[in-house]
Amino acid sequence: MKVKVVSFDLSGTLIDEDFVDHFWLEVIPRAYAEKRKLPLHVAKEEVLRMYEEVGAEDLRWYLPRYWVVKLGLGRLEPLLEEASKRIKVYDDVHEAFKTLARLKLKVAILTNLTYELAEICLRVINLSLPVTLLSCVTNFALTRKTRRFYELSCKALGVKPTEVVHVGNDQVYDLQEPASIGIKALLIDRRGGRDEGSINNLLELMDIVERGLGWRG
């Protein structure tokens, strides 16, 4: 079956992972320190403790606006702008998306970042073609990109799983979970590993898609 959609994870796939860590572990605690007039190390300890009290199984863990309100930090937008300075786009992204535009394939971003975080990333990336953004948190109230997330994403995109190629950097949530419903999933390992079913950059993916190798059933 012909591929109709190429979907991408965001952090670790199109941009490096420093942005997300910087937002949660530096920008939020620094704003809290300033608000409460605390030493930064004390503020970090308090904020991290509150993160842990909520826990990664709770949807609130992933919501920037929840934490801004809970910590009394005022507006979220200035914090996002500050964190966005740390967004680093991988060198192969724009060339890869030019190829996708030429091939006239539909493109989706499938992420566990909320819309607020994902949209500022996409603004900085400044892609050359329209993309559909689907967040497991924002769209489907799921904490992780599970099998159910991919089922709902395919439904939202109007395609069958076998018509989707997905690329991401997480062994479970970008490879095993999408593959479990028939999506053609690839793991991107930008450190240069050569595990079976992995690629090292997006240009390798474009070569596979353009030549049509392995993407027809």
What per-residue confidence (pLDDT) applies to 214? 46
- Over residues 110-124, the mean pLDDT reads 96
- Over residues 114-128, the mean pLDDT reads 94
Residues of the chain by 3-state class (helix, strand, coil), percent to 5: 50, 15, 35
What per-residue confidence (pLDDT) applies to 49? 98
- Report pTM: 0.91
What per-residue confidence (pLDDT) applies to 217? 40
pLDDT tens-digit map of 51-68: 999 999 999 999 999 999
Q: Is 97 helix (H, G, I), strand (E, B) or coil?
A: helix
Look up residue 161 and give its two tokens: 């799983």
What per-residue confidence (pLDDT) applies to 119? 96
Query: 213 pLDDT exceeds 80?
Result: no
Domain boundaries, the chain: 5-16+88-211, 18-84
What per-residue confidence (pLDDT) applies to 173? 97
Q: Which of 137, 134, 174 is nearest to 154 (CA)?
A: 134
Answer whether CATH 3.40.50.720 is correct for domain 5-16+88-211: no
Expressed in angstroms, the distance from the first to the final Cα of the chain is 5
What per-residue confidence (pLDDT) applies to 23? 98
Query: 198 pLDDT exceeds 70?
Result: yes
**Cα separation of 177 and 16, whole Å?**
22
Ordered DSSP codes for 4-61: -EEEE-SBTTTB-THHHHHIIIIIHHHHHHHHHT--HHHHHHHHHHHHHHH-TTSGGG
Query: 200 pLDDT exceeds 70?
Result: yes
